[in-house]
Structure 1
Amino acid sequence: MTVAKLHEDFSYTQDRELSWLRFNERVLEESRDPEVPLYERLKFVSIFTSNLDEFFMIRVGSLFDMALLKEEHIDNKTGLTPKEQLSNIFKAVPALCKQKDKSFAEIEERLRQHDISNLSIKELESSEKKYIEKYWKTYILPILSPQVVDSHHPFPHLENKALYIAVMLKDKGGETYGIIPVPTSLPKVIFLPGSSVRYVLTEQVVLEYAAQVFDMYDLTNKTIISITRNADISPEDDSFEVDDDFRLRMRKVLKKRARLAPVRMEIQGEADQKLIDYFCERLGLRKEQVFLSKSPLGMGYIFALQDKFPQTTLSRITYPPFEPQPSRSLNREESVTSQVLRHDILLFYPYEQMDPFLQLIRESASDPNVLSIKITIYRLASQAKLIEYLAQAAENNKDVTVLMELRARFDEENNINWSERLEEAGCQVIYGFEGFKVHSKICLITRRDKGDIQYITQVGTGNYNEKTAKLYTDLSLMTANQEIGNDAAIFFKNMAIANLEGSYRQLLVAPHAMKNVLLDCIDEEIVKAKAGQPAKIVLKMNSITERLLIDKLAEASQAGVEIHMIVRGICCIVPHVPEKTDNIDITSIVGRFLEHPRIYIFGAGDDPKIYIGSADMMTRNTDRRVEIACPVLSPQVKQRIFHILDVMLRDNVKARVLQSDGRYLKKQVAPGEALINSQEYFIAVAKEMAAKQPAPVPVKKKKRVLGRFFRMLAEKFE
């Protein structure tokens, strides 16, 4: 192990990669929870698998890149080199994969009790086997592109995360190898005729009949494989002409991603060691980069299965249905704009609908008092009302500026397409900065009211993604505070002129100032604690890796500041280390919804500083991204955030407590103590509050038509 040349204290920090793997183990733990409905448990296995895929593509890929550099990189939380970190990863992952295989097998077995069966070819009834044979000959065999590998047939490029059948072959000339790509144009699942949900995975069919493809050979071994490639690329890694179109550049980058170096080979089923060695040699992989699996290598199909489930079965094996509810803070009979102008409004997704924010944009698109709409966009759904409303605003001669981040990993293609749609509608689209992703979530509406400029600002902790707003927990603040609006106007001006070092009165903006302000806020609590005054910090985020902030929190703990942290994923600071982090407790909540808000609270009194925003306490967020945190100034909104965090800190069902050795343990529940599942609590409250609200009075159709008619007349004679 490397002797670190750094001066950091490693006694209260841990490796970010191993911390992330422990988080993903928490995801897998949900698949074993008997209180979680059976099909939802299967989804958690799929989520674990896709999480691990991305981990290898990004984090493992990045470590391999760093290991190639001449200048040795030493991790500032562990003192380890990239090679040592990779070694630890390769030791930790196989045990997780075995847990995954065990969970998958147990869940699949229990699903059969509900007439839902993922079958092997050997399990098929005779009529079903005939159906599969016909399907093979009619739909699969004609579109296959098999290949032997020899002097005239060079080893092909294996696409990232695609499925292949790898085979060993023999003929008179000796031994050779072959590959059959499983066509992506085929459905992932072949459903069998009948009333029960019985199906076969397509790759299992290709595997079964592989010998028919290579019928002139003796097939001696066959298996399913998948290659994971490094996907940690950045447009800045390549040299481009200054006047290159940035969208074109990103399209080139996306094509390159599929051809980057392999970092992992997965094998499902039995495989001859000679076959494994051959593929490792061809792909430049070491034996520790090969992972054996008894469960499918791609599990994206799982989420589509429920379309085949009978309703009676669905209700037994899934969460009770829940749709986001109307906001408790809004009167549904009044425009959102007029209400925001009177008081701040906080939306809490997915318990409350995203609709009020979308309605605000829709109202602004046709409001004659609105001059402009400016917004930053990082991720969007494949279908987005937001784009429709922004386009309407531009078509109504509003000044619409969209700062579209084309480098949102794995959403690049979607964002490129949306940027083109916005430009076609007349919006001004800009793309941010070289070397800095724009990850902030902010929207500014500028109005003119009686000759005065008036701002409405929205700042969120999550993306403007109408799909994930039903799956992720997030906060969205809408305010007419003019100081915040002035800052937002300055922010968008700075983005347009490529100024990363602007000054702001209310907003915390990275990379220039956010980290320093957060450090100052922690320092203020340290001063209070040393003076014998109450001092407290409450933090909620996805991850914490930034060393300066970690050290400052440890310093605060040593000074006696009470620190509570809710960290969903990577947590490089460990609590309860004697004389280092004694006063820090850290929990992680994994449940039905993905926990996503970033909330920072400093102060023990009735009126502490509260910020919500887009940034985690990670170096990438504070130093290499454009992020925004917004102060919460409304007493009512502050009280609501206090309540939200209080419920989460009292969660004793889904919360796990981080130990000083990096493990997560369930909270001990005392006899008679009430069980609190924070997410279920918020669902129940949202339903209760919505039920208390009067339903909106329906507008008669005739009035709507007349209103539209007079608007058309007004537009005609303007």
Structure 2
Amino acid sequence: MNKEKLVYTQNRELSWLRFNQRVLEEAQDVTVPLLERMKFVAIFTSNLDEFFMIRVGSLYDMSLADDKKIDRKSGWTATEQLTKIYDAVRPMYKERDKTYAEIKKQLNPYGVCGLDFKELETQEKKYVKKYFKDQILPILSPQIVDVNHPFPHLLNKEIYVVANLKMNNNSMLGIVPVPQFVSDILYLPGSDIRYIRMEKVIMEYMELVFEQYEVFDKNYICVTRNADISPDDEAFADNDDFRYIMKKTLNQRRRMAVVRLEAASPFSKEMEKYFCDRFEIKPNQIFRTKVPMKLAYMFAIADKVPVSMRKSLNYESFSPQNSPMVSDGSVMAQVKQKDIILSYPYESMDPFLKLIKEASVDPNVMTIKITIYRLAKKTRLVEYLCAAAENGKEVTVLIELRARFDEQNNIDWSERMEDAGCRVIYGFEGYKVHSKICLITYRNRNDIQYITQIGTGNYNEKTAAMYTDYSLMTANQSIGRDAADFFKNMSISNLDGVYQNLIVSPSSLKQNVLRCIDGEIAKGKNGRIIMKMNSVTDMDFMQKIAEASQAGVEIDLIVRGICCILPGVPGFTENLTVSNVVGRFLEHPRIFCFGTGSAQKIYIGSADMMTRNTENRVEVACPIYDEAIKERLNAEIKIMLSDNVKGRFLQKDGTYIKKPAGGVPVDSQQVFMERALRATKPKAPVRKSFWKRFLRFLKR
């Protein structure tokens, strides 16, 4: 196979940065309410933090291990990719700073004011000083750095106030950690939401912290550390308690190499060299930011806004609605009659949770088996699974302890479920279990029967109200038997299971997708492929898509984030269109559609077309057999493809452009919200006067 870069592919890291640029565009969109725009700045920032911790961290390790290895999508080494990333990120910082400043200024007339110390009124300054002396100063842990006091370990993504100190002609560095257990901001007295960030308060009063020193060059900084840790496979194999390994891994993450240093103000040349030497970084890894290094407090501020102003500053409130496919009464009974699909967050997750709750007490239910990747901090699902175990059901939970940044949460839940009597297993060395599948086995007279749930998103009740996803519940017994085989194979570490309906990675998912694409290639210009995913990086998939395009197949990929295949490249991808939607909710479903009409195949599942998903994870996709659900999914995909408000087209140079705004504006997420509201809106009662008129008509 040719090892050179393909002409129709792009580097995954720069592709991701362009996706995050789309998030920043939402913060710049004047049609979005102001506090929602500020939330998008916070999301952009959080995304960038994770990008540096994971992707830049991974490339950093690669550059040390083997810097001759070439990325086939771009033709660059790891070091070259890092240089390109740092160069691409720097202008994004400036753009974010400008966007943040504009939104902050526009919030002031609404009484939402983030202030610098010099902007405080006289009484406010007195209040802040007293608060600092009484509540903050006593709990600070300041440190000087000299021959007797070594430089401390700076924690990942924590803020430190620093200053140069001088006493008796001796200079040294002073460092004050901003305490993790105090609020990120200090609210000021009064009816308006006026606040100042804690690092600014501490920086203002550094002279009180280091009383005997002359203080100058005050600043605050934040380091981002490599967090791309994979548990050692040998340790995994030799240790019975995988939870113990993961706890060690989390401790190790705290001390990884620095990949980025952020500062509020420019460093002097001496200070820049000092930090570069201290953290073993280069000047291009230092970024100045005028935006707060932590912005999560903006979500709390949005909740503090008076009700009278919320409509002006926030999106109109929306709660997941009852699904029109589910009526009152037993969910189990309804699933036995027909397949049901839920569309989050437009429809509530409650029917699925009710299904598990019913199963936990149903005397005919024998087993409940489920794979778990991420859970909310508070979750009814675990309560129901524990109740099922306590009621004598056999409950098997395959929980993935390596779900990045949710490791500790999953460790805690696994211990809780084990204590309740659930059988908890952890998956495989080298393969994360990312599938979203649940199987209920029950006795129907003398037969063993199944109800299967398969989703595109996690069993997380919090994100189900923020991420778009699909959840299928079916009593199709053939699918149920496949699901039973899947869980048996997971229990005995068999990754090579054979299934009649489900397509499962790493054994059969990619192969089946490629086979379905071949089926459309055979149709030539009559072929049709539509796939919706989060990311596309798998080389085999991209080469097959290019082959389909060259055969004349009409292809639409809806890819929210990374997309390494470029559309519209002459001779390669001219029949390929790539679009995405970035809006109020995070787009998350994976839907694969091949063909049209009665022969069309549709799958929903957990896998993106990324090599990590297709070859190094356990993923499950399920065919849709119910014609009404097929029709619904086709209609909803058509709306997504028609989105000319939040939708963008990917260009052959890797940039995005707005979709043409001609005709009727279509905001797909708004359409789905309105449909969900209409579906549950009670029908107006027929007035008595109507019946009187109707009876008079009959008597004529």
TM-score (norm 1): 0.94
Q: Counterparts of 1:35-54 in structure 2 under 5 Å?
A: 35-54=31-50
Which residue pairs with 1:136 in the alignment? 132
Give the AA of the match of 2:468: T
Whether the 8 Å contact between 2:302 and 2:314 is mirrored in structure 1 is: no
1:71-104 CA-partner distances (Å, limit 9, x unpaired)? 7321121111101110100100011111110111
Choose from 340, 344, 347 the match for 2:339: 344
Tell me the CA shift for residue 592 of structure 1: 0.2
Tell me the CA shift for residue 213 of structure 1: 1.4
- Aligned equivalents of 1:240 and 1:566: distance in 2? 37
Choose from 552, 575, 588 the match for 2:580: 588
Choose from 545, 565, 580 the match for 1:573: 565
Q: Counterparts of 1:27-426 in structure 2 under 5 Å?
A: 27-70=23-66, 72-236=68-232, 239=235, 242-332=238-328, 334-426=329-421
Tell me the CA shift for residue 693 of structure 1: 7.3
Whether the 8 Å contact between 2:117 and 2:196 is mirrored in structure 1 is: yes
Q: Percent identity?
A: 55
The alpha-carbon distance between structure 1 residues 693 and 364, as it changes in their structure 2 partners (threshold 3 A), is farther
Choose from 652, 660, 664 the match for 1:668: 660
Whether the 8 Å contact between 2:364 and 2:444 is mirrored in structure 1 is: yes
Tell me the CA shift for residue 7 of structure 1: 3.0
The alpha-carbon distance between structure 1 residues 237 and 174, as it changes in their structure 2 partners (threshold 3 A), is farther
DSSP 3-state at the match of 2:451: strand
DSSP 3-state at the match of 1:255: helix
Choose from 451, 457, 477 the match for 2:446: 451
Tell me the CA shift for residue 240 of structure 1: 5.4
Is residue 644 of structure 1 aligned with residue 636 of structure 2?
Answer: yes
Tell me the CA shift for residue 330 of structure 1: 1.1
The alpha-carbon distance between structure 1 residues 688 and 607, as it changes in their structure 2 partners (threshold 3 A), is farther
Tell me the CA shift for residue 6 of structure 1: 4.7
Which residue pairs with 1:484 in the alignment? 479
- Aligned equivalents of 2:277 and 2:207: distance in 1? 24
Whether the 8 Å contact between 1:167 and 1:275 is mirrored in structure 2 is: no
Is residue 524 of structure 1 aligned with residue 516 of structure 2?
Answer: no
- Aligned equivalents of 1:623 and 1:693: distance in 2? 50
Which residue pairs with 1:711 in the alignment? none
Q: Show structure 1 runs of 5+ residues with no match.
A: 696-718
- Aligned equivalents of 1:162 and 1:623: distance in 2? 35
Give the AA of the match of 1:23: F
DSSP 3-state at the match of 2:103: helix
Is residue 678 of structure 1 aligned with residue 668 of structure 2?
Answer: yes
Tell me the CA shift for residue 308 of structure 1: 2.2
Deviates more, 1:457-466 or 1:146-155: 146-155
Choose from 548, 555, 564 the match for 1:556: 548
Tell me the CA shift for residue 241 of structure 1: 6.5
Q: Show structure 2 runs of 5+ residues with no match.
A: 686-700
- Aligned equivalents of 1:312 and 1:261: distance in 2? 48
- Aligned equivalents of 1:8 and 1:314: distance in 2? 54
- Aligned equivalents of 2:256 and 2:684: distance in 1? 57
Query: What is the number of residues matched between the two proteins?
Result: 685
Tell me the CA shift for residue 167 of structure 1: 1.0
1:394-440 CA-partner distances (Å, limit 9, x unpaired)? 11100100001011000001000000110111100000001110000
Whether the 8 Å contact between 1:472 and 1:595 is mirrored in structure 2 is: yes
Whether the 8 Å contact between 1:454 and 1:482 is mirrored in structure 2 is: yes
1:523-552 CA-partner distances (Å, limit 9, x unpaired)? 1111111xx6x1100000000000010000
Give the AA of the match of 2:167: D
1:580-635 CA-partner distances (Å, limit 9, x unpaired)? 00000011100000000000001133331111000000000001100000001110
1:534-573 CA-partner distances (Å, limit 9, x unpaired)? 1100000000000010000000000000001110000000
Tell me the CA shift for residue 362 of structure 1: 0.4
Deviates more, 1:598-607 or 1:620-629: 598-607
Tell me the CA shift for residue 694 of structure 1: 10
Give the AA of the match of 1:562: E
Which residue pairs with 2:495 in the alignment? 500
Give the AA of the match of 1:314: R
Whether the 8 Å contact between 2:235 and 2:245 is mirrored in structure 1 is: no
- Aligned equivalents of 2:684 and 2:285: distance in 1? 59
Which residue pairs with 1:606 in the alignment? 598
Give the AA of the match of 1:543: S
Deviates more, 1:387-396 or 1:168-177: 168-177
DSSP 3-state at the match of 2:215: strand
- Aligned equivalents of 1:308 and 1:648: distance in 2? 34
1:313-335 CA-partner distances (Å, limit 9, x unpaired)? 12210000100000011112x21
Whether the 8 Å contact between 1:104 and 1:295 is mirrored in structure 2 is: yes
Give the AA of the match of 1:326: N
- Aligned equivalents of 1:238 and 1:264: distance in 2? 31
Give the AA of the match of 2:530: V
- Aligned equivalents of 1:237 and 1:207: distance in 2? 45
DSSP 3-state at the match of 1:31: helix
The alpha-carbon distance between structure 1 residues 71 and 57, as it changes in their structure 2 partners (threshold 3 A), is closer
1:478-536 CA-partner distances (Å, limit 9, x unpaired)? 0011111000000000000000011011001001111111111111111111xx6x110
- Aligned equivalents of 1:553 and 1:596: distance in 2? 21
- Aligned equivalents of 1:319 and 1:426: distance in 2? 43
Is residue 615 of structure 1 aligned with residue 610 of structure 2?
Answer: no
Give the AA of the match of 2:214: D
Give the AA of the match of 1:676: V
DSSP 3-state at the match of 2:493: coil
Give the AA of the match of 2:337: R
Tell me the CA shift for residue 298 of structure 1: 1.0
Tell me the CA shift for residue 636 of structure 1: 0.7
TM-score (norm 2): 0.96
- Aligned equivalents of 1:136 and 1:596: distance in 2? 44
Choose from 654, 662, 680 the match for 1:690: 680
Whether the 8 Å contact between 1:6 and 1:79 is mirrored in structure 2 is: no
- Aligned equivalents of 2:546 and 2:237: distance in 1? 46
Which residue pairs with 1:15 in the alignment? 11
Deviates more, 1:296-305 or 1:562-571: 296-305
Deviates more, 1:597-606 or 1:200-209: 597-606
The alpha-carbon distance between structure 1 residues 326 and 109, as it changes in their structure 2 partners (threshold 3 A), is same
Tell me the CA shift for residue 369 of structure 1: 1.0
Whether the 8 Å contact between 1:31 and 1:45 is mirrored in structure 2 is: yes
Give the AA of the match of 2:455: G
Tell me the CA shift for residue 222 of structure 1: 1.1
Give the AA of the match of 2:109: Q
Is residue 475 of structure 1 aligned with residue 465 of structure 2?
Answer: no
Which residue pairs with 2:623 in the alignment? 631
Whether the 8 Å contact between 1:168 and 1:275 is mirrored in structure 2 is: no
- Aligned equivalents of 1:584 and 1:493: distance in 2? 40
- Aligned equivalents of 1:649 and 1:295: distance in 2? 35
DSSP 3-state at the match of 2:469: strand
Whether the 8 Å contact between 2:505 and 2:614 is mirrored in structure 1 is: yes
The alpha-carbon distance between structure 1 residues 8 and 70, as it changes in their structure 2 partners (threshold 3 A), is closer
Tell me the CA shift for residue 272 of structure 1: 2.4
Tell me the CA shift for residue 237 of structure 1: 6.1
- Aligned equivalents of 1:679 and 1:610: distance in 2? 21
Whether the 8 Å contact between 1:236 and 1:435 is mirrored in structure 2 is: no
DSSP 3-state at the match of 1:435: coil
